[in-house]
């Protein structure tokens, strides 16, 4: 029996949306995730909009694909511009938020990812995140800030300042090993996070030194399955587990070679690699 997305917890595995190209092949994505052993997928809000507007799929039709394979939509990416109070950025942000809330209402999505940068003062950013959390709570959604080293929410400490300032029970963090290692790489910052507020864990691997000087290009093209690179994936998992983190684990393996290969292979190598890491972390 398919478990609701809001019941998923460590060490349930989710296949992140960005482990595949951004648009298309939704049915194949769901089938591959199920075949590999994932319990859920993440879905990009713009892909959901495309399914609705270009393919003419109703939420019931989308749910039918999920139900046939016993897969849930666990995560929705991504909220931007949540800090904006006027202008086109605010309007775009609110439109995408409404799509995310629609997904939560129809599919029981558990988690909404939020990212920076914010183009305003810190206090306004805190107020904007608090507003987003309040509205998301009406739809049963947790909201996590993913720190990104190429933004002004660059570290776990930067995210924590906003989350603590907003002080909302459904406001927390996404801990992505890539942005930890390639960013501050500070374990004390991770330990300082409230474990009950780490709502998402994203796993992948890579080289310790960038393959591409452009941070965004590197992180979107060159990630590999956990254990296949130079990151200390086992240590990262042990740390979060020992802290008491209970969030499910999302495999975000953005890799151009895997994107161009068979979709079933991409799903299986990510899933099986993470299971090996978990086994090593438990030893």
What's the pLDDT score for residue 1?
Answer: 74
Q: What is the pLDDT of residue 70?
A: 98
pLDDT at 136: 98
Q: Give the torsion through C-alpha atoms of 138, 162, 78, 245, to 10 deg.
A: -80
Q: For the chain, how long is the longest CA-to-CA vector? A: 53
What DSSP line would sit under 255-270, residue for residue? BHHHHHS-HHHHHHHH
pLDDT digits (tens, 9 = 90+) for 103-122: 999 999 999 999 999 999 99
For the chain, domains (ranges, CATH) are: 5-282 (3.20.20.150)
Task: Using 70 as the pLDDT threshold, list the residues of the chain that sit under it.
Answer: none
CA gap 82, 35 in Å, rounded? 36
């Amino acid at each position: 029996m398919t478990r609701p997305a809001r019941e998923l917890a460590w060490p349930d595995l989710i296949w992140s949306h960005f482990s595949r190209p951004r648009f298309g092949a939704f049915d194949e994505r769901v089938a591959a995730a199920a075949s590999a052993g994932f319990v859920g997928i993440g879905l990009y809000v713009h892909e959901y909009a495309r399914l609705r507007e270009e393919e003419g799929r109703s939420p019931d039709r989308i749910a039918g694909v999920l139900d046939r394979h016993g897969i849930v939509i666990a995560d929705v990416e991504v909220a931007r511009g949540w800090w904006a109070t006027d202008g086109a950025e605010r309007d775009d942000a609110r439109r995408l938020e409404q799509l995310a809330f629609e997904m939560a209402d129809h599919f029981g999505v558990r988690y909404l990812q939020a990212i920076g940068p914010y183009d305003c003062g810190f206090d306004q950013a805190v107020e904007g995140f608090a507003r987003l959390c309040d509205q998301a709570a009406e739809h049963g959604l947790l909201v996590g800030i993913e720190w990104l080293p190429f933004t002004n929410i660059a570290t776990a400490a930067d995210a924590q300042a906003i989350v603590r300032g907003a002080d909302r029970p459904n406001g927390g963090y996404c801990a992505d090993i890539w942005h930890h290692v390639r960013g501050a790489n500070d374990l004390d910052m991770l330990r300082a996070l409230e474990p009950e507020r780490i709502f998402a864990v994203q796993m992948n691997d890579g080289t310790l030194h960038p393959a591409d000087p452009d941070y965004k290009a590197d992180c979107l093209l060159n990630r590999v399955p956990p254990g296949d690179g130079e990151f200390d994936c086992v240590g990262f998992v042990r740390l979060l587990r020992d802290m008491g983190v209970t969030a499910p684990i999302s495999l975000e393996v953005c890799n151009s070679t895997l994107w161009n290969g068979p979709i079933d292979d991409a799903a299986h190598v990510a899933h099986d690699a993470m299971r090996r890491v978990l086994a090593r972390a438990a030893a």
